[in-house]
Amino acid sequence: MKAVKWIKYVFFLFLGVGLMYLAFKNQSPKALIAQLKDVNYLWVIISVFFGFIAIVSRGLRWIILLQNLNFSVSKLNSIYAVAIGYFTNIAIPRAGEITRCTSLNQTEDVPVDKLFGTIILERAIDFIILISLVLLVLILKFELFLEFLAIIFEGQTLGVGSLIGIGLSATAILIILFVLTKRILKKSAIYIKIKTFVIGMKDGFKSINGLKNKSGFWTHTFIIWLMYLLMTYVCFFSIEATRMLNVADGLYTMVIGGFGMVAPVQGGIGAYHYIVKVGLMILDISEDSALLFASVVHTAQTLMTLSVGGISILMVFLSKRKAKQ
């Protein structure tokens, strides 16, 4: 199993490098460095601040879920755990949830299984919100989104009819495959993961009704996603070529950028750059400026995540050391 995990890790690492090459193959390093001198870094700092607020708000929202299970935890320890999770995800995709739980388990002695249950609920809520935002982008930027998909799928022309046809065909194929291989699928790891996730979503939504602090939970959920939007949108003002883009363009860029960040490559490297570059070029932004924007946003948020995560690891270490004395 360890060998398989290492193979997957190396594969996705090379995939990220390949996507990075694909994104930057027409870009001159000297031109990019020259453009970096013209970036207004005040807006980048504001974007980083919004990203930090999202981490803090996610930590505070987690406390509300744990309070519902009759666990009282420190605000700082919860925020530290969330930051450590983000830190880990940069190096090892999907491992952040494990380190997040183990971190809080070590500082607050909350059972890991209970912690994982709350994270499944979080994932379910965030998944629904993400799908809702994708649908909103489809409404606001339908033609642009079609063009984006067309370029991603190697320049194929996609109309409304063809998109619906592709969707219906894919759905039909999946249903047929599911019926034919149902017995085999039930034993597969992927089926079990999907089934667990769906059950978790159902249980999660049921548990929301019993939350002691519903208003606090939904307020932090709103803040988290608002910060995600703002950390993308305000960076438009850092580059001359993107200053005229509006909030709807920011939402569109956040959503497509999210596709890059959820890709199973380390820290979204390469995937984020390529996808955002394609998405911004559709908005009539030059390739150089689109890559500059993607590089600035991704680098700034990655450095913030590494810094806050690194400090959190240190603080947790010092806290544990102090407790032993």
Rounded CA-CA distance 137/249 in Å is: 9
Give me the tens of pLDDT residue by residue for the chain, a chain 325 residues long.
555 555 655 655 566 566 665 666 666 677 777 778 889 999 999 999 999 999 999 999 999 988 888 888 899 999 999 999 999 888 777 778 888 988 888 888 788 888 888 888 888 888 889 889 988 888 888 777 777 767 766 544 444 444 444 444 455 555 555 555 555 555 566 666 666 656 655 655 555 667 788 889 999 999 999 999 999 999 999 999 999 999 999 999 999 888 877 766 666 777 888 888 888 988 889 888 888 999 899 999 999 999 999 999 999 888 877 766 6
Whole-structure pTM value: 0.79
Residue 292, number of CB atoms within 10 A of its CB: 26
Which residues are within 8 A (CB) of 78 and not within 5 positions of it... i.e. 6 or more apart?
A: 59, 60, 62, 63, 66, 104
Torsion-angle region of 221 (φ positive above 0: left; ψ -120 to 50: alpha; else: beta): alpha
Q: What residues does each domain of the chain span?
A: 2-324
| Helix or strand (DSSP H, E) at 164 | helix 160-180
- What DSSP assignment string belongs to 224-270? HHHHHHHHHHGGGGGSGGGTT--HHHHHHHHHHHHHHHHSSSGGGTT
Query: Do the beta carbons of residue 79 and residue 55 sit within 8 Å?
Result: yes
